[in-house]
Structure formats: C-alpha cells, structure tokens
C-alpha cells in the first residue's frame, strides 16, 4: 500500500500547487465556474462510473475473463458516452444554468476526456494493482497541471483548464490499457448478464452518490453564484489531504472483500484494521485547521478567499466522517450489495439536498457545509449498521481514540504557538504545520505501540520498493 500512498501524496501535492496558481489567477468567480463545469461532468459520467464499478467487482473474482470484461467496459463506455454528449450538445444550450459562455460545450469536452479513464482505472484496481491504479491517477495529474498552467498563462482562462484536463485524461488511457495487460475478447452471455445485472444498481447508486458529492458546488453556483463555489472549492482542497490514506485503503478493500467473500474467507479483521487507520490524516488536519484557519486560507490563496475560513473547519469535519464511510462503502460493495448502496446513497442525497436548500438561504455557504456534515454522518451510521449485519468488525477501535487524543494535544500546543507568533508568511505557516505533524506523531507513538509498529512497517515497505533493500 505504501506505493499507492506515495503516489497519492504526490498527486495531492501536484494538484494543490496547481490549484494555488489557478485560484489566484482566475479569482473566485473563474475558479468557481471551472468547478461547476467539472461537477456537472462528474454527475453525467456516472453511468460510465457505475459500469466501471461493476467491471472492477467481477474482474476481482476468481475464474473471470479479464479480456471479456475489458470489452464490455470499452463498448459500454463508448455507447453511454455518445448518448450523453449528444444530449449535451442538443439540449444543453437551451438550459440557462451556467454563468459562463459555452458552458454545455465545455462540459461535453471534459466529459469525453474523463469517461475512459474512469472505466479503466477501477479495472486496474480490481486486478489487485491498487498502488498502480493510484499511480495512474498521479500520472494524469502530472499531465494535467503543466497543460493547464500553460494554457491559463497564455490567457485561455477557464477554457484552458477544461482543455488541459481533457487532454491529460486521454493521454493516460494508453497507459491504463498497457497496465491491464489483456486483449479484448468477445464476452460470453453470462458475463454480459452478470455485469448488466450489477450495473443496474451500481450505475444508479453511483449517479446518486455523485450527485451528493457534487451537490454543494452546484447548489452554491445556482443560488449564490460561481464566486461562492470558488470559495468552497479551495476550502475543500485544503481539507482533501485528510482523505489521502482513506482513498488508497478503500480502493484496495473493495477488491479484497470481493475476493475473500467469493472464497468464503473471513474479512472482519481486515475491515477493523482499515477503520482503525483510515482517519489517520483527517483527524490532525481538522485540529490544525481549527487552530489557525484564517492564517491557512489567506497565506495560501490570498485575501480574495477570506470567506472560505469557516468552510475549511466544517469541511475538515466532513473529511473525518468521509474517511470512515469510504471504507464501509467498499465493504458493502465487495459483498455484492449494490441495491443497499443505492438505498443508502439516496437517503444521504435527500438529507443533504433538503437541509442544503433550507440552510443556504439562512446561513449562506456555511449552511451548505453543515448540511453536508449531517448527511455524511447519517450515511456513516446507516452503513455501519448494515455492514455489521454482514461481518462483526469493530466500528470504533482503540486506534481511533488514540488519534483523537493526539489531535487534541497537538491542537492545544499549536493554538498557543500560533497565538504567540502568528503567521505572516509561507515560512511561518509551514513551520507551524511541521511542528504540528511532529507533535501528532510523538503523541501517537507514546500512546500505543501499534503506531510505532505501523511506522516501521511503512518504512520497511518503502525501503524495499524504492531503495531495493
């Protein structure tokens, strides 16, 4: 897993540095408009994403033909993509939603770039190549950021962001096919029926889940404007590092649970282990954001984004809940319960939409964030209930309690240091962040030997994979 984690961290660093350039260059309105366009594309690509989930599920099972599944994925993506693009170009211009010229066209362009990548990457993960799947995402960012930076600096604005992301996604497709290492084969009737049967739930669940994931930005853009979406977007990007470990662990857990369950083997301990460590980054990030939110926002993105300060704290809470729900979602999907995932995703969306519409008119952007926290908490509670009916894992193991205690200790010290010195430069901000990371680590290893053993294992794996020791 260390390879996947290193790749994910590299991806986050590259994306974060790019977002600073884009946010400062385009401003809240331009950056928000780009976020709205990509959010719409991410909702529309859900039929393809659901198909990719079904392919991942069956490619992980024993006795399945990878070549047949690849054929179904490629053909299905082409057909579904063609239908969506045609609808965008015909119906899109008649819908007055975007506050940017050629909005439907931009959505169609980025949609075409995303769909094949989002079909192939889950298949790579389904083959058990979890770290490689994350690396492919990192490779896409390595292509995306330079292309976007160049086009934005050339004056292409939001269009440059769209074209850069599209080109980078398409450039990654040949690498994904090479990593899969299989040739398309004519699928059997049974394989087609199995994937279609699973897809009818996974597509619906993916559509609802993505609508939930993109709802905040779309709601802010529709009610307040793209500027509010831009404020939300940079706060979310600052909170995103808390989910890095969870993303890697969740991707591997789905395929592992599916594989073990198909062989009738026990999975409870593996799920408990994932739950224990999935919030390892998210918990200290929340306490760090709580200690100095304004200093972080203004130093990194500038005065124009000061309105994002309260959003950062709320989204850091959301990330803690999200890191947990990602693991349980993988468990339920691995057990082949797409019907249950559809139900849970629908309940979550209804809660988020209802509260979001109510609170946005009362509290503005902060109301949308609070609605998301409540919705994610509801989702986690329901998922935990249903998952524990399948396997007897521990939903609140001691390791989580140790992380919270370590986070509180770190917060108390960093809050004092920040109040005494303040932050007026990048150097001072990075210094406090570094001190906080060291304090958090020291508190953890002093509370339990399990964290010291884990650190040794990660270092050992890294030395073996990257230094050949």
Q: What is the pTM of this model?
A: 0.81
Q: b/e map of 420-448 (b: 16 or more CB within 10 Å)?
A: eeebeeeeebeebbeebeebbbebbbebb
So where are the chain's domains? 2-396, 397-469
Place of tokens 């008649």: 94
Tell me, rounded to whole angstroms, the distance of Cα 417 from its chain centroid: 32
3-state secondary structure of 321: helix
Alpha carbon distance 257, 369 (integer Å): 32
Identify whether the C-beta of residue 440 lies closer than 8 Å to the C-beta of residue 407. yes
Q: What is the pLDDT of residue 434?
A: 95
- Token readout for 72 is 């179904």
CA angle 139, 140, 145 (to 5 degrees): 105
Alpha carbon distance 340, 389 (integer Å): 12
Taking CA atoms, 77 is separated from 45, 182, 259, 267, 440, in Å, by 9, 18, 25, 32, 45
Alpha carbon distance 412, 335 (integer Å): 42
Alpha carbon distance 411, 290 (integer Å): 8
Place of tokens 């809940």: 321
CB atoms within 10 A of CB 110: 25
Alpha carbon distance 382, 343 (integer Å): 10
Per-residue pLDDT of the chain (469 residues; tens, 9 = 90+): 455 566 666 667 777 888 888 899 899 999 999 999 998 898 888 888 888 888 887 887 776 777 888 888 888 888 988 998 998 888 877 776 777 778 889 999 999 989 988 888 888 887 777 777 777 887 888 899 889 989 998 989 899 999 999 999 999 999 988 888 888 788 788 888 888 887 777 777 677 777 888 889 989 988 898 899 999 999 999 998 888 878 777 767 777 777 776 666 677 788 888 888 889 999 999 999 999 999 999 999 999 999 999 999 999 999 999 999 988 888 887 776 767 878 888 899 999 999 999 999 999 999 999 999 999 999 999 999 988 888 888 888 899 999 999 999 999 999 999 998 888 889 999 999 999 999 999 999 888 877 776 656 655 554 554 444 5
- Token readout for 149 is 């930076």
3-state secondary structure of 468: coil
Widest pairwise Cα distance in the chain: 69
Q: What is the pLDDT of residue 242?
A: 86
Q: What is the pLDDT of residue 465?
A: 47
Q: What is the pLDDT of residue 377?
A: 96
Taking CA atoms, 82 is separated from 79, 85, 89, 112, 114, in Å, by 5, 5, 11, 9, 13
């Amino acid at each position: 897993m260390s390879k996947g984690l290193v790749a994910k961290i590299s991806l986050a660093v590259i994306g974060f540095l790019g977002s600073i350039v884009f946010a400062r260059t385009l401003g809240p309105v331009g950056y928000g408009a780009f976020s709205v366009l990509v959010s719409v594309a991410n909702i529309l690509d859900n039929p393809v994403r659901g198909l990719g989930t079904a392919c991942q599920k069956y490619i992980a099972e024993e006795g399945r033909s990878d070549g047949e599944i690849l054929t179904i994925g490629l053909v299905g993506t082409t057909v579904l993509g063609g239908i969506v693009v045609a609808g965008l170009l015909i119906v899109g211009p008649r819908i007055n939603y975007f506050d940017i010229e050629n909005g439907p066209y931009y959505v169609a362009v980025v949609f075409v770039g995303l769909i094949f990548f989002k079909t192939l990457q889950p298949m790579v993960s389904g083959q058990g190549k979890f770290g490689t799947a994350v690396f492919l995402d990192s490779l896409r960012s390595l292509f995306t950021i330079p292309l976007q930076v160049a086009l934005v600096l050339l004056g292409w604005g939001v269009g440059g962001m769209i074209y850069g992301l599209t080109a980078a996604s398409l450039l990654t497709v040949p690498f994904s096919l090479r990593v899969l290492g299989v040739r398309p084969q004519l699928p059997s009737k049974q394989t087609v029926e199995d994937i279609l049967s699973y897809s009818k739930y996974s597509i619906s669940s993916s559509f609802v889940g993505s609508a939930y994931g993109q709802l905040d930005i779309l709601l802010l853009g529709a009610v307040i404007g793209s500027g509010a979406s831009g404020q939300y977007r940079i706060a979310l990007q600052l909170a995103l590092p808390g989910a890095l470990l969870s993303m890697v662990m969740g991707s591997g857990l789905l395929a592992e649970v599916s594989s073990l369950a198909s062989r009738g083997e026990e999975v409870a301990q593996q799920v408990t282990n994932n739950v224990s460590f999935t919030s390892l980054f998210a918990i200290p990030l929340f306490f760090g954001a709580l200690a100095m939110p304004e200093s972080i926002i203004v130093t990194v993105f500038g005065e124009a984004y000061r309105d994002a300060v309260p959003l950062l704290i709320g989204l850091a809470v959301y990330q803690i809940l999200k890191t947990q729900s990602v693991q349980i979602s993988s468990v339920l999907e691995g057990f082949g319960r797409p019907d249950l995932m559809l139900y849970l995703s629908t309940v979550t969306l209804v809660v988020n939409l209802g509260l979001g519409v109510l609170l946005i008119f009362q509290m503005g952007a902060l109301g949308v964030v609070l609605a998301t926290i409540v919705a994610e908490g509801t989702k986690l509670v329901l998922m935990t209930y249903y998952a524990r009916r399948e396997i007897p894992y521990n939903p609140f193991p001691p390791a989580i309690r140790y992380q919270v205690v370590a986070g509180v200790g770190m917060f108390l010290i960093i809050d004092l240091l920040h109040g005494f010195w303040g932050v007026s430069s990048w150097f001072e901000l990075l210094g406090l962040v570094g001190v906080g990371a060291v304090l958090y680590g020291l508190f953890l290893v002093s509370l339990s030997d399990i964290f010291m053993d884990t650190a040794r294992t990660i270092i050992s794996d890294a030395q073996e994979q990257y230094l050949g020791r």
